[in-house]
Chains A and B, each alone.
Chain A
């Protein structure tokens, strides 16, 4: 059974810092890995999707990397802003396409 772990559980940084969120998964037989953002009480917003054959994806200030062999993905946020404050979730789609397994998330607070 796939298990996804995110470290740290919470992170507080001043505005302007670059930061890295970590995600690890136990079963490397994944089809893709997705990063989402969730604001309190809201739905999820898709940020980046990395196919298992890819090493990284970039969107604006966000860069996500994937190392299947070590079971790790990182989300890099450059020049953080208060509007980046949210919970960030990573999720692994298993190769059978049947289940998207989520980590518990990293709660990010960026202070002005």
Chain B
């Protein structure tokens, strides 16, 4: 089973809302990732969580905060987002950081 699941599939939120995106994998992978993808652009790495350590792309604003409750879950908490944060948010996992990454279907986020 090479499945990464993401919920919700679609999310519409106002700039004052707090919401969370959820990502789950049951492949025993040790690394999980969050990417942001704008229309007709490649994915951009936001966060990497591997071996219980979080690595952050320094360009990602603090209104995005990841949380890893256990080795199978990686959540992304959203607070006070801006309309330009509207994008497809992709989660991925891999056995090790250097291995093939398996992507989830994504969450389509719209910020009004």
Contact status B42-A98, CB under 8 Å: no
Return the contact of A105 from the options B42, B55, B92, B97 (Cβ within 8 A): B42
Fill in one digit per residue for A1-36: 1 if any B CB lies within 8 Å of its CB, else 0: 000000000000000000000000000000110101
Contact status B100-A104, CB under 8 Å: no
Contact status A43-B98, CB under 8 Å: no
Return the contact of B98 from the options A45, A93, A105 (Cβ within 8 A): A93
Return the contact of B103 from the options A45, A93, A98, A104 (Cβ within 8 A): A45
Contact status A102-B43, CB under 8 Å: yes
A residues 28-76 near B (Cβ < 8 Å) are: 31-32, 34, 36, 41-46, 49
Indicate the member of B43, B48, B103 with the most A CB atoms within 10 Å: B43
B110 to chain A, nearest CB (A): 13
Fill in one digit per residue for B1-26: 1 if any A CB lies within 8 Å of its CB, else 0: 00010100000000000000000000
Contact status A46-B101, CB under 8 Å: yes
B85 to chain A, nearest CB (A): 18
Contacts of A44 in B (CB 8 A): 43, 90, 92, 101, 103
Return the contact of A100 from the options B40, B45, B88 (Cβ within 8 A): B45
Chain A contact residues, majority secondary structure: strand
Contact status A104-B42, CB under 8 Å: yes
Return the contact of B88 from the options A41, A102, A103, A105 (Cβ within 8 A): A41
Contact status A41-B108, CB under 8 Å: yes
Contacts of A36 in B (CB 8 A): 103
- Chain A residue nearest to B42 in the complex (CB): A102
Which 3 residue pairs of A and B lie closest in terms of their CB atoms, listed nearest first?
A102-B42, A44-B103, A43-B103
Pairs A–B under 8 Å by Cβ, sample size 18: A43-B90, A43-B103, A43-B104, A43-B105, A44-B92, A44-B101, A44-B103, A45-B103, A46-B102, A46-B103, A49-B100, A89-B42, A89-B43, A91-B42, A93-B98, A98-B48, A104-B40, A105-B42
